[in-house]
Amino acid sequence: MTIPYGRQEVTEADIDAVVGVLRSDYLTQGPWVPAFERAVAQYVGAGHAVAVNSATSALHLACLSLGLGPGDRLWTSPITFVASANCGLYCGAEVDFVDIDPRTGNLCPERLAAKLEQAERDGTVPKVVVAVHLCGEPCDMRAVRALGERYGFRIIEDASHAIGARYRGEPVGSGRYSDVTVFSFHPVKIITTAEGGMAVTNDAATAERMMLLRSHGITRDPAQMTHVPDGPWYYQQIALGFNYRMTELQAALGASQLNRLDAYVERRHEIARRYDEAFTGLPLATPWRDPDSRSALHLYALRLRVEMLRPTHREVFERLREAGIGVNVHYIPVHLQPWYERLGFRYGQFPEAERYYAEAISLPIYPAMTRSDEDRVIDAVTAAVQA
């Protein structure tokens, strides 16, 4: 049996919660979605939360509600899932990347500062910067925020890996350093709703815009209508929205999973501490964690010291897969995807990201792992990096 790099845990309480919805009157647009939104908003300390059918949809709505459109620019990190960049393209904006800090794999604030200086001279300052908390380790948001104030761009935190993480003593999602924060509830992430995502913000107007757009741009609020309602049946479409709604089944599952979020993050730290210790002295770097933050540890990504190894990155990866360890590589740099190469990006533009890609391997880490799963991973990694 292969040990996957990540997987969900579903308890009897989760199953009961979902079955309860199936027996109820509402499968969608009932009480569970607002209850789950309130629970997440309260957990992260945000004023408003908008549940949707994926983090990809949440990123799209966040960009639209911040006014991103044709002629605008969105910048993000090349070491992320494609959705962090695609949201800019959905809005007709131009996308560009800022190379990473090799220590964390997160967008590098010094490189961001240098790129902004040049962009100011060229008149190409972005409207939105998407900061990704890679592997659950918070990006340097204080630095990103300071640059946002200086250059006037808006900030979205792609916290798809980072619900349950803390940055400088506050939960990721508190909104102190950004306009909108986005979470993913895909089964490999920290907590799951099968598919699902959420956007949190402290700005009421931004939240209202996202709620309108997740449901076709339709309102039933007379105050938002262009004229007096024709009758009690009346609704108006006042924007071109989408159907990005989360179902009641998903929200009930998410609310049930949320009860275990802190325990999940703690369990991930336990596994990571074991790995850190077991891998000391091997020709690889274990993930760096900021002592002032608390990572959600969605991923545990090793960086091989390829210059000290006889086997190549690919050989180590293949040896681990052969040993039944479901390792992965996060991520193929987005600028090297054919869709982005077609837009003019090419190899060599973001060397730190390209080097990261050539060295990173994600090991299994998830709450339901057993001690013997951990032993198997440790033994396999130790063997795979030997000559």
Select the residue interacting with ligand PLP from 83, 198, 210, 385 (CB under 6 A). 83
Smallest separation, CB 182 to ligand PLP (Å)? 7
To 10 degrees, the CA torsion angle through 291, 295, 301, 306?
Answer: -20
Q: Among 166, 193, 170, 175, which Cα is nearest to 57's? A: 193
Select the residue interacting with ligand PLP from 160, 250, 286, 362 (CB under 6 A). 160
Where in the chain does DSSP place strands (E)?
Answer: 48-52, 73-76, 94-97, 128-132, 154-158, 166-167, 170-171, 180-184, 197-201, 218-219, 236-237, 284-285, 293-294, 300-304, 360-363
- Pick the piece of the chain touching ligand PLP (CB under 6 A) from 1-9, 77-85, 210-218, 235-243: 77-85
The interface with ligand PLP within residues 220-259 (CB under 6 A) comprises: none
Q: Read off the tokens for 183.
A: 């979470």
Judged by beta carbon, residue 235 or residue 339, the one nearer ligand PLP is: 339
One DSSP character per residue, 105-134 reads SSBPHHHHHHHHHHHHHHT---SEEEEE-G
Strand, coil or helix: 246: coil
Select the residue interacting with ligand PLP from 75, 81, 153, 340 (CB under 6 A). 81
Judged by beta carbon, residue 56 or residue 295, the one nearer ligand PLP is: 56
Judged by beta carbon, residue 311 or residue 326, the one nearer ligand PLP is: 326
Smallest separation, CB 116 to ligand PLP (Å)? 22
The interface with ligand PLP within residues 84-123 (CB under 6 A) comprises: 84
Residue 161 is a binding residue for ligand PLP (CB under 6 A): yes
Can you state the percent helix, strand and coil of the chain, rounding each to 5? 40, 15, 45
Judged by beta carbon, residue 18 or residue 55, the one nearer ligand PLP is: 55
- Pick the piece of the chain touching ligand PLP (CB under 6 A) from 67-75, 157-165, 224-232, 308-316: 157-165
The interface with ligand PLP within residues 181-200 (CB under 6 A) comprises: 184, 186, 197
Could you give the angle at which helices 55-65 and 204-214 cross, rounded to 10 degrees? 120
Judged by beta carbon, residue 112 or residue 380, the one nearer ligand PLP is: 112
Smallest separation, CB 194 to ligand PLP (Å)? 10
The site map against ligand PLP for 51-70 (x = CB under 6 A) is ---xxx--------------
Smallest separation, CB 278 to ligand PLP (Å)? 26
Smallest separation, CB 193 to ligand PLP (Å)? 9
Judged by beta carbon, residue 84 or residue 328, the one nearer ligand PLP is: 84
Total residues in contact with ligand PLP, by rule CB under 6 A: 14
- Contacts of 297 by beta carbon, 8 Å cutoff, 6+ apart: 135, 136, 265, 268, 269, 271, 272, 365
Judged by beta carbon, residue 56 or residue 202, the one nearer ligand PLP is: 56
Where in 98-250 does DSSP place strands (E)?
Answer: 128-132, 154-158, 166-167, 170-171, 180-184, 197-201, 218-219, 236-237
Judged by beta carbon, residue 126 or residue 197, the one nearer ligand PLP is: 197
Residue 214, amino acid: R
> Per this entry, what is the length of the chain?
387
What is the sign, positive or negative, of the torsion defined by CA atoms of 233, 48, 216, 73?
Answer: positive
Smallest separation, CB 195 to ligand PLP (Å)? 6
Q: How many Å apart are CA 118 and CA 100, to the nearest integer? A: 18
Strand, coil or helix: 11: coil
Judged by beta carbon, residue 177 or residue 331, the one nearer ligand PLP is: 331
Residues in the site for ligand PLP, rule: CB under 6 A? 54-56, 80-81, 83-84, 132, 158, 160-161, 184, 186, 197
